[in-house]
DNA sequence: GCCGTTTTCGGCCCGACTGTTTTCAGTCG
């Protein structure tokens, strides 16, 4: 069995949770949380390292390395098994209730025998909580409400794509207030993570009272959870929690760093501040001796005052970026302005395209692209695919349209990788396309070995220039199918095939973590929207964010090059 | 449990809000 880094990281996250419930030393708990984070962010496959190699990773010492190899060899960790035996499984479920943490969960279990969410409901109904130290009637009411919210399936993490609309609407309304100088969403949404747990809104104002009031009273809000001078927490109409923080305009940069996170990134940055004899909070970077504020106005100033380069938000995950920003090795990652074209898009020539070829071409040209590849589905895709005859018809339409546009329209196709790695059409006809992306659309439940084999086989084809949405996942709806990434990266390099970062916010496939491994392996990437409508072309920013999360530079992204680079890439593959 | 630009031992990031408290612990981010 090949364990992935994520499997291993999950074991250590569980150890941390169980230790917390056991009342262990908080710093020891944090050490395990950090280890889990370090494992998840590791660029190399842990199973390829020995214990000495693992200990090289920050946050992993000899004890953790030993437990990792124990897990890789036996599939379990004795310490974790003991912890599980000592803590009722239901207690973990209790800590998922907002407002109920490990200390209270343990107290409820020890004093009242509460070992499940159902047992908690009963205890609250019988008013048995209010006798316990630190708990009173109000706590019972709050927990009862939290439990009823838990009943709605509308809570929990959401695909980022679902949260961004409400976040932008909240910001838009606050921006209209005369008291608001600046407003933006921060948190995991600003880092453009795949899923978000809540919406963090940050505003700058000299008069915060009316700003908090407007937020609380908005018709987008159904419930107010906390209301203070500096912070308001609400539940929005779509069931997502939203926090508003208002700071004085001079603190904007420090607050933005603070509320963008990630938490692990912030901890690392603040530790760095402490080592330099300073202290960093949401109001600024301070000299604790004199109380003098060294930096706070904008993000770049705050990072610079600590001797660091500005870190793009998607990279702020404590995956080595703090150290790199400090020692000058942070790569200049790809930016939206670097993107010269898009290499995966559809028109209504294929059944699922929602706009005409002309509308798509016009929209792509308006974005200033030098080229846009129309990659309608090929004949093997039931319902939506184009026969050879229809493709030839489309060729005429492209040629006619090309006369009116300076932007190069690349005649492309999205090919279907069949069970054995074969693709649509015959080799001669395929050779007449400018650009082909090949994707898996069927048989998604095959084993990892079979999926890997069929994708590697498809890459051998001289007319397969890129592999589309490599894992097939739909965030929040369909898990990725299994693949052996190392084998695929090696084959991509050998066959000179690009791997697509699908920019659709529902896919983001490759993930940021996979991008980073592809970058380390030297594989060429594309960032493409897989647009099925004009509006989809705006998703490019999500693909760029995912590339940044994976530390990709513009020179590694094929469509950050000019048209000649695309043509010489396909030419090289052909020969 | 991890780690070192004062340290191989003794620290380990910081603040807001709430509910229960007469000064603070727990939770959250």
pLDDT tens by residue, A28-73: 998 998 899 888 877 778 888 888 889 888 889 999 999 999 999 9
Q: Which nucleotide has the least CA–C1' distance to A231?
A: B16
Closest CA to A255 of A201, A308, A296, A314: A296
Q: Specify the CATH superfamily of domain A252-327.
A: DNA polymerase, thumb domain (3.30.210.10)
Q: Is A141 exposed, middle or buried (0-12, 13-18, 19+ CB in 10 A)?
A: exposed
Alpha carbons A467 and A499: distance in angstroms, whole number: 5
Residue nearest to nucleotide B29 (CA to C1'): A263
- pLDDT beyond 80 at A408: yes
- pLDDT beyond 60 at A14: yes
What are the extents of the domains in chain A? 3-150, 158-247, 252-327, 336-574
Token digits of residue A106: 């343990």
Does residue A10 reach within 7 angstroms of strand B, measured from its CB? no
Alpha carbons A369 and A528: distance in angstroms, whole number: 12
Choose which CATH entry (3.40.50.2020, 3.40.50.300, 3.40.640.10, 1.10.150.110) describes domain A3-150: 1.10.150.110
Rounded to whole angstroms, the distance from the CA of residue A33 to the C1' of nucleotide B8 is 23
Does residue A60 reach within 7 angstroms of strand B, measured from its CB? yes
Of A170 and A134, the one with more pLDDT: A170
Mean pLDDT of the A428-450 span: 92
Alpha carbons A119 and A140: distance in angstroms, whole number: 13
Region for A235 from its dihedrals, namely left if φ exceeds 0, alpha if ψ lies in -120 to 50, beta otherwise: beta
Q: Specify the CATH superfamily of domain A336-574.
A: Metal-dependent hydrolases (3.20.20.140)
Does residue A139 reach within 7 angstroms of strand B, measured from its CB? yes
Closest CA to A398 of A431, A345, A429, A358: A358
Bridge-based pairing of strands A371-377 and A341-342 is parallel
Does residue A103 reach within 7 angstroms of strand B, measured from its CB? yes
Q: What tens digit of pLDDT does each residue of A468-513 get? A: 999 999 887 788 888 999 999 999 999 999 999 999 999 999 999 9
Residue nearest to nucleotide B16 (CA to C1'): A231
Closest CA to A486 of A39, A49, A44: A44
| Strand B, CB < 7 A, residues 396-455 of A | none
- pLDDT score, position A277: 87
Rounded to whole angstroms, the distance from the CA of residue A123 to the C1' of nucleotide B11 is 41
| Strand B, CB < 7 A, residues 111-130 of A | 130
Q: What is the DSSP string of A265-322?
A: HHHHHHHHHHHTT-EEETTEEE-TTT--EEE-SSHHHHHHHTT-PPPPGGG-SSSSHH
- pLDDT beyond 70 at A154: no
- pLDDT beyond 90 at A98: no
What is the dotted CATH code of the domain comprising A158-247?
3.30.460.10
- pLDDT score, position A152: 54
Rounded to whole angstroms, the distance from the CA of residue A173 to the C1' of nucleotide B2 is 46
Of A339 and A53, the one with more pLDDT: A339
Does residue A279 reach within 7 angstroms of strand B, measured from its CB? yes
- pLDDT score, position A2: 67
Q: What tens digit of pLDDT does each residue of A344-366 get? A: 999 999 878 889 999 999 999 99
- pLDDT score, position A551: 95
- pLDDT score, position A238: 83
Residue A232 three-state SS:
strand
In the numeric block, the tokens 């001078």 are attached to A229
């Amino acid at each position: 069995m090949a364990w992935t880094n994520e499997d291993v990281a999950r074991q250590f996250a569980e150890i941390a949770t169980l230790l917390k419930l056991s009342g262990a030393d908080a710093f020891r708990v944090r050490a395990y949380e950090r280890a889990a984070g370090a494992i998840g962010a590791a660029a190399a496959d842990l199973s390829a390292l020995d214990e000495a190699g693992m200990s090289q990773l920050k946050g992993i010492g000899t004890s953790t390395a030993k437990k990792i190899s124990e897990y890789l060899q036996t599939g379990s960790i004795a310490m974790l098994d003991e912890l599980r035996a000592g803590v009722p499984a239901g207690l973990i479920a209790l800590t998922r209730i907002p407002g109920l943490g490990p200390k209270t969960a343990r107290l409820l279990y020890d004093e009242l025998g509460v070992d499940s969410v159902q047992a908690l409901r009963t205890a609250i109904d019988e008013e048995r909580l209010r006798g316990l130290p630190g708990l009173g009637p109000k706590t019972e009411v709050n927990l009862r409400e939290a439990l009823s919210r838990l009943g709605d399936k509308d809570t929990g993490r959401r695909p980022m794509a679902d949260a961004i609309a409400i976040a932008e609407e909240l910001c838009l309304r606050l921006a209209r207030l005369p008291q608001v100088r600046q407003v933006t969403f921060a948190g995991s949404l600003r880092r453009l993570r795949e899923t978000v747990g809540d919406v963090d809104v940050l505003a700058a104002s000299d008069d915060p009272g009316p700003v908090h009031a407007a937020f609380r009273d908005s018709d987008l809000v159904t419930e107010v959870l906390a209301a203070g001078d500096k912070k308001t927490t609400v539940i929005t109409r779509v069931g997502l929690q939203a926090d508003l923080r208002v700071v004085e305009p001079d603190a904007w940069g420090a607050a933005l760093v603070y509320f963008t996170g990630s938490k692990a990134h912030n901890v690392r940055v603040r530790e760095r501040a402490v080592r330099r004899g300073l202290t960093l909070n949401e109001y600024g970077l301070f000299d604790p001796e004199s109380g003098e504020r060294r930096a706070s106005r904008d993000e770049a100033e705050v990072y610079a005052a600590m001797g660091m380069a500005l870190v793009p938000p998607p990279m702020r995950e404590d995956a080595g970026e703090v150290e790199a920003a400090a020692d000058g090795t942070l790569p200049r990652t790809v930016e939206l302005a670097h993107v010269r074209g898009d290499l995966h898009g559809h028109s209504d020539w294929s059944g699922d395209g929602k706009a005409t070829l002309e509308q798509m071409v016009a929209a792509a040209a308006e974005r200033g692209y030098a080229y846009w590849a129309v990659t309608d589905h090929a004949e093997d895709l039931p319902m939506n695919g184009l026969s050879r005859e229809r493709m030839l018809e489309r060729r005429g339409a492209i040629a006619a349209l090309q006369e009116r546009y300076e932007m190069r329209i690349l005649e492309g196709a999205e090919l279907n990788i069949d069970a054995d790695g074969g693709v649509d059409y015959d080799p001669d006809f395929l050779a007449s396309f400018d650009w082909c992306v090949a994707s898996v659309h069927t048989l998604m439940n095959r084993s990892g070995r079979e999926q890997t084999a069929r994708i590697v086989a498809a890459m051998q084809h001289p007319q397969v220039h890129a592999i589309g949405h490599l894992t097939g996942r739909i965030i929040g709806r369909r898990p990725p199918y299994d693949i052996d990434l190392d084998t695929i990266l090696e084959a991509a390099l050998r066959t000179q095939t690009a791997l697509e970062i699908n920019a659709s916010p529902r896919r983001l496939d490759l993930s940021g973590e996979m991008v980073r491994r592809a970058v380390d392996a030297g594989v060429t990437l594309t960032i493409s929207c897989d647009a099925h409508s004009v509006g989809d072309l705006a998703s490019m920013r999500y693909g760029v964010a995912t590339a940044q999360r994976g530390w990709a530079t513009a020179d590694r992204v094929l469509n950050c090059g000019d048209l000649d680079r695309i043509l010489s890439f396909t030419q090289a593959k052909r020969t």
